[in-house]
């Protein structure tokens, strides 16, 4: 079974409160999502392997550590996942970015795939799929399916807010995928929205309501 990590760092929780608030406008919402994505990237990269190199400081030679040439890929689920990409790339600028386009049919709540573009060396990369919301889990499961179908072997899923239903769906369909979240909320409402959640992440990021 995959592990579920809830990032309860005070800065993440503080910023998430303002992301949730309905009085937060598009500009501030976008900035806060970007900042939380950076903070979550800091936590999610905790286990990256290091290697030793030799450098010279102004004072002496030194053995020091650098990240050991890991090939990373960041995959936003369109649209709302785009809001988390730049925040992650601030810390991991060498990561390649792929895109998986999915929208959730408002009637059936099932994901509909409309676009997939990935880095060419899929088998060799460690991927982080990002999307602010894990609701029914349909979109996350479909995105992981799409990535595995093309050869991906190592996948993490990172989101801001998850519902228990979504966590369960990913755990059941993809027990090899660890899930990283900023908050685990109570439930879904009749329209498949997370309660209390933050509303429609895509609309709030891009001002399309």
Ligand X SMILES: O=P(O)(O)OC[C@H]1O[C@H](OP(=O)(O)OP(=O)(O)O)[C@H](O)[C@@H]1O
Ligand Y SMILES: O=c1cc[nH]c(=O)[nH]1
Q: Known catalytic residues? A: 104, 108, 200, 203
**Are the C-beta atoms of 107 and 134 separated by less than 8 Å?**
no
Chain position whose Cβ is nearest to ligand X: 202
183 binds ligand Y (CB under 6 A): no
200 binds Mg ion (CB under 5 A): yes
What six digits make up the tokens of 136?
């029914």
DSSP category for residue 101: E
Of positions 75, 202, 204, 205, contacts Mg ion by CB under 5 A: 202
Which among 193, 201, 179, 207 is positioned nearest to 78, based on CA atoms?
201
Whole-angstrom distance, CA of residue 209 vs CA of residue 207 = 6
196 is an annotated ligand-binding site residue: no
133 binds ligand Y (CB under 6 A): yes
Q: Phi then psi for 189, rounded to 5 degrees?
A: -90, -175
103 binds ligand X (CB under 6 A): yes
Q: Which of residues 73-102 bind ligand X (CB under 6 A)?
A: 77-80, 102
30 binds ligand X (CB under 6 A): no
Question: Given the complex with ligand Y, which of 20 and 125 has the nearer CB atom?
Answer: 20
Residues 198, 178, 7, CA angle at the centre, nearest 5°?
Answer: 50
For binding to ligand X (CB under 6 A), which residues are involved? 77-80, 102-104, 109, 111, 131-140, 166, 192, 200-202
């Amino acid at each position: 079974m995959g592990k579920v990590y809830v990032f309860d760092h005070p800065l993440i929780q503080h910023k998430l409160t303002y992301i949730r608030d309905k009085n937060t406008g598009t500009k501030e919402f976008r900035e806060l999502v970007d900042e939380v994505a950076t903070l979550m990237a800091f936590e999610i990269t905790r286990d990256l392997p290091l290697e030793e190199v030799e450098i010279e400081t102004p004072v002496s030679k030194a053995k020091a550590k650098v990240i050991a040439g890991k090939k990373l890929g960041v995959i936003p689920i369109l649209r709302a996942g785009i809001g988390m990409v730049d925040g992650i790339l601030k810390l991991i600028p060498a990561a390649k970015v792929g895109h998986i386009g999915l929208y959730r049919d408002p009637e059936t709540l099932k994901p509909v795939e409309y676009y997939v573009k990935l880095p060419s060396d899929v088998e060799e990369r460690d991927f982080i799929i990002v999307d602010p919301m894990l609701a029914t889990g349909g979109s996350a499961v479909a995105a992981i399916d799409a990535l595995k179908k093309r050869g991906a072997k190592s996948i993490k899923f990172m989101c801001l807010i998850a519902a228990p239903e979504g966590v369960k769906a990913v755990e059941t369909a993809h027990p090899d995928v660890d899930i990283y979240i900023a908050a685990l909320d109570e439930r879904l409402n009749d329209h498949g929205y997370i309660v209390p959640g933050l509303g429609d992440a895509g609309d709030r990021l891009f001002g399309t309501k």
